[in-house]
Amino acid sequence: MPQFQMRSTVERLDKPSSYAMSKYKKRRRPSGDDANRAPSPDLEEKLRDASTLYVGNLSFYTTEEQIHALFSKAGELKRLVMGLDRFSKTPCGFCFVEYYTHEDALDCLKYIGGTKLDERIIRCDLDEGFSEGRQYGRGKSGGQVRDEYREEFDPGRGGFGKKFREDEQAYGNEYGPGQ
């Protein structure tokens, strides 16, 4: 019988989020019968030495300098990659922050994830590491997918979602460009 094990009496914040876990599981689980497959490496195992974080829910207007000012409170930054709109190459509300050590990345998760930057609650997740191409939004219109269909107005993230914006623009164009 396996012995009862307990790592800590309260949950830890320096683990991959449930969002990352669920995404990972989905990706790892092929549609067919996977009963015979060798168990895929644990996400936690994979991120054991990760020193990069994905940072989400940023305002489009938040600058690298602001991100630097906050995130360097958890350790010196090695690299900061802004997430950009695929087409316009302007910030689209996320970034990758890379520290020199895994410990600093964990400190960031514990102490900075879920606090405010530029008056928005930001989201941090451990990341496997930045690779070229990942800095671009994967949404249809170039930004992040989550901003495509958003119905609430978010002034920090380009107002309404894409569909709403299109409607608005079509409406405005009837009157021609203003003065």
Query: Which helix (H) or strand (E) segment is 99 a member of?
Result: strand 91-99
Residue 173 CB, shortest distance to another protein, in Å, is 31
Instruction: Note the maximum CA span of the chain.
Output: 78
Sketch the per residue contact string, 71 through 90, with another protein: x for CB under 8 A, - otherwise. Answer: --xxxx---xxx--------
d(CA 62, CA 73): 17
In the bound state with another protein, the residue whose beta carbon lies nearer, of 20 and 150, is 20
Alpha-carbon Rg for the chain in angstroms: 20
| 91 bridge partner residues | 84
Q: Which of 43, 53, 117, 124 binds another protein (CB under 8 A)?
A: 117
* 33 lines the binding site for another protein (CB under 8 A): no
27 binds another protein (CB under 8 A): no
Q: How far is the CB of 14 from another protein (least distance, A)?
A: 6
Closest by Cα among 56, 21, 52, 77 to 127: 52
- 130-162 CB burial, b ≥16 within 10 A, e <16: beeeebbbebebbbbeebbebeeebeebbbbbb
Q: Which of 107, 128, 148, 154 binds another protein (CB under 8 A)?
A: 107
**With binding defined as CB under 8 A, does residue 131 bind another protein?**
no
63 binds another protein (CB under 8 A): yes
Please give the residue ranges that form the binding site for another protein (CB under 8 A).
Answer: 1-14, 18, 22, 25, 63-66, 68-70, 73-76, 80-82, 107, 110-112, 115-119
